[in-house]
Structure 1
């Protein structure tokens, strides 16, 4: 019997994957290893860098159609996104937007093999993923953004949010898609919540077959190059209907408002539930709960000027008010001790919170669509993290967070000025979901205001370091530090407010923040750009904070042909 030979993406390296998919003789690499552009932040931590930084960009044709493949190398730092690799991905998508605006249609394909943010570069990865997400939302208006998750690593962390934003997802059975890796869930929530040693359960929860059968992936393929090509072409030619899941806010919010998680839901039950077409859209979760006074809720009350929350979900506060004569919508995520999802009771962004944020941002877009003055949207940021839990991963918390990202990015592109106020913690996927898509970021200089991708405990676990070693490394690499002063060094802040009492604000503190918001609002109105490019234009970003990010984008432009 003749041996059947298959061409595997799962077993191939990132560069091989890109060239295997494209038409022979058509492909050339942009920013190849010969350009020697490596991460400037790894050597200081005794980590050997790589000349392509684990991100491969190959331009060519697929079935004769202009295509760019961006392929992530899972064998380098777990496919983690740092400054250079993140800039290569974001910068390429931004270049495609400009080409499409000129009428040059180029199809993007992203091959995922990533654990999310590269913890050794931390907040650089956070900024990059926000920029990647923003670019995907903008680019989808021109061409389908196709994501492929073939296997080995899968797609996790902040990069799972970008996968959720793709127009269509292709997966194999070997592929995995989830926000928090099983080991991190166990670290944060305990072994009883999720045992990462139970590999069969993990694949039943977040594996490619489960995601496809639950309606969260579009095509399931066997690992062979012709199968991937056929799947891609079926998306391009319209055979596969684009689901736009992150826009299906009412459907998913209704699902998660009515879900009973008092006992663990099995993967089979979850699959059946996600495929149901009948949900109770009238369930009301807004019955009064015991108030929890947090930094975020205090600032929400101050800025709301007596306006009550209109939100149907107690853990997300929403109010329409006036800030210095400008109509504004405030949004804050706060603790709810009675949250039906017990892993999201302390102010985390979970299933309900992500979809609820999306609902009220999109509501503002819809209400203001015919208005010449789009409402100012103010995310008040005091979020400890996304929710770490079994049910969160099973039901796709990544997609809930993607929906929030999509809503904020869409609002910004629609002309809504967004000014995020960082008054407390701004951690990980929660910050990506709630705040990082803002036109401008304002922060209070307070020891309670921290920005990072993960708790120190989990960061130490993933990087195989002690907390003391992490703190020592942060002295050399500011992006690894948690304090807001170090985050300012990256150049993304519009303003850092001094002398404001974050935890017990008074009327003078409120006035300072209101004045800063007004200044940011006017700055946005005077700027023709609706993307996030302002974060690369500040003096700090250009002189030191984002030099590599800027250089990568310049080199992509130079090498494009």
Structure 2
């Protein structure tokens, strides 16, 4: 006999979901609609804003434990993350972290119903997701961060990386977890790569049951509020082992090195492969027959003096060097036309790349664990995007990217200075994985240096605009623009380096670039703060770039009881 649902979480709105989970009479909303903290960037684009910006924060108790529920409203802009909504989520986690550090434990629960970054605010979403990720990585050391993916939309885009970082994930069978939505994969790679209308296949690939069966989600529940409450409690009570999946680097890298994807692997086959603890016949990924020049490779070679990469993955270059006496590990993602994952041959961050980045960042952490002055880590950023592909979604590219985020954030927190040098494209999940967790960001002032969440063509299709209309909107909303000057207006850049030929630098240009990295390094060394809050304290951020982000955090502090 089918069990009757007494109270559905899936069918409820975000605010209802939060109040349903908390003990009755204990819950109150922080930064609710009457505070009218709406997005300041939508009206200029003829989009009606919402007073809570689609992000609900409700504090109370759950089974008597102090709890804060952060619930994303999928019915507003597809649950997209903009400046205000992103600041509400990041700011709440930062406040919980502060409470936990003061021995006032608060349990955070995030309810995901999101397609990722809100394209109408683009780079604000990228900055917010980096800050959300940083907060989760630090907060997990004090209290489990529980993520719930109940259904409707699921968790996609950059927000899937934050889901991958959660201590535990609770899903329904209706819930979906992937980096690139099926429609986006079809749009980028073609219907032969993935037919987004084949719903049965999609759920077999990225649905809650599949993610749970292969160990990428911790609990699958039937849709009833009491079931979600019990699942949360089981995480808190220690009944559910916290897998720390993003730290299982050797396991996943060994698996993906062993895969042959010349023919499509079915979800059923993938299930068996992902269940294996020790995949066999692991081989080193073949090096490219011809080296493809790219900006990332060029500047990697400049920084390392042409040293040979120590990486076992040819698309991830890694070398240890001294930059004017400062010990450094330099990491770059570069094209590899021989990459066995054919959707990641042009410098994209894919299954191999994310885990490889994590491997070599964590290796530096282990090697320097006994040192007071830990080596500088320099991600050289020239990444066109994450890989869009069937196998990437099937095997969890979101987790590969989460592992890189986790590694960089963890290294930063234990004292590794990280200076990300943007020399080319810095797009979407690839930039979140490789660069955005740095203490300081520097960039070349060059028209080929772009920061965004998606290619212009794709962004135009999804927002139902022409490319010309996108460019026009970007004049009023700098966060939508692709050029590095517009990104600078958001206040996150430490330095925009002028007068360098990005493609054919002279020795003087190389010297200027190196000096800029060392200036950022020195600035980090003078700063006791190891989180990403410096991006909210720059003159540009305070004056104009992150005004709403700062205001949201102030209001959370004021309304917290």
* Over 6 Å off, 4+ runs: none
Give the corresponding residue for 1:453: 453
Q: Does 1:125 align with 2:121?
A: no
Residues 25-82 of structure 1, C-alpha deviations (whole Å, 9 max, x = no match):
0100000001011000000000000000000000000000010000000000000000
- Displacement of 1:282 in angstroms is 5.3
Matches within 5 A, 1:51-450: 51-280=51-280, 283-285=283-285, 287=287, 289-450=289-450
Aligned 8 A contact 1:289 1:314 in 2: no
**Structure 2: runs of 5+ lacking an equivalent:** none
Give the corresponding residue for 2:529: 529
- Displacement of 1:506 in angstroms is 2.1
Partner SS, residue 169 of structure 2: strand
- Displacement of 1:400 in angstroms is 0.1
TM-score scaled by length of structure 1: 0.99
Give the corresponding residue for 2:24: 24
Distance in structure 2 (CA, Å) of the matches to 1:182 and 1:366: 38
Partner SS, residue 540 of structure 2: helix
- Displacement of 1:313 in angstroms is 0.4
- Displacement of 1:245 in angstroms is 0.2
Distance in structure 1 (CA, Å) of the matches to 2:362 and 2:230: 35
Matches within 5 A, 1:482-493: 482-493=482-493
Aligned 8 A contact 1:29 1:57 in 2: yes
Distance in structure 2 (CA, Å) of the matches to 1:412 and 1:523: 14
Distance in structure 2 (CA, Å) of the matches to 1:122 and 1:431: 13
Distance in structure 2 (CA, Å) of the matches to 1:13 and 1:252: 36
- Displacement of 1:260 in angstroms is 1.0
Distance in structure 2 (CA, Å) of the matches to 1:413 and 1:407: 10
Aligned 8 A contact 1:254 1:281 in 2: no
Residues 118-177 of structure 1, C-alpha deviations (whole Å, 9 max, x = no match):
000000000000000000000000000000000001000000000000000000011000
TM-score scaled by length of structure 2: 0.99
Distance in structure 2 (CA, Å) of the matches to 1:263 and 1:384: 25
Matches within 5 A, 1:24-43: 24-43=24-43
Aligned 8 A contact 1:349 1:430 in 2: yes
Residues 390-411 of structure 1, C-alpha deviations (whole Å, 9 max, x = no match):
0000000000000000000000
Residues 219-257 of structure 1, C-alpha deviations (whole Å, 9 max, x = no match):
000000110011000000000000000000000000000
**Structure 1: runs of 5+ lacking an equivalent:** none
Distance in structure 2 (CA, Å) of the matches to 1:281 and 1:421: 37
Task: Work out the number of aligned pairs and report it.
Answer: 561
Partner SS, residue 359 of structure 2: helix
- Displacement of 1:286 in angstroms is 5.2
Distance in structure 1 (CA, Å) of the matches to 2:319 and 2:558: 47
Distance in structure 2 (CA, Å) of the matches to 1:288 and 1:92: 46
Residues 184-225 of structure 1, C-alpha deviations (whole Å, 9 max, x = no match):
111111111011111111111111111111110000000001
Aligned 8 A contact 1:86 1:128 in 2: yes
Instruction: State the Cα RMSD in Å.
Output: 1.1
Partner SS, residue 292 of structure 2: coil
Give the corresponding residue for 1:551: 551
Aligned 8 A contact 2:5 2:223 in 1: no
**Structure 1 96/3 Cα, relative in aligned 2: closer, same or farther at 3 Å?**
closer
Residues 442-491 of structure 1, C-alpha deviations (whole Å, 9 max, x = no match):
00000000000001111112111111111111111000000000000000
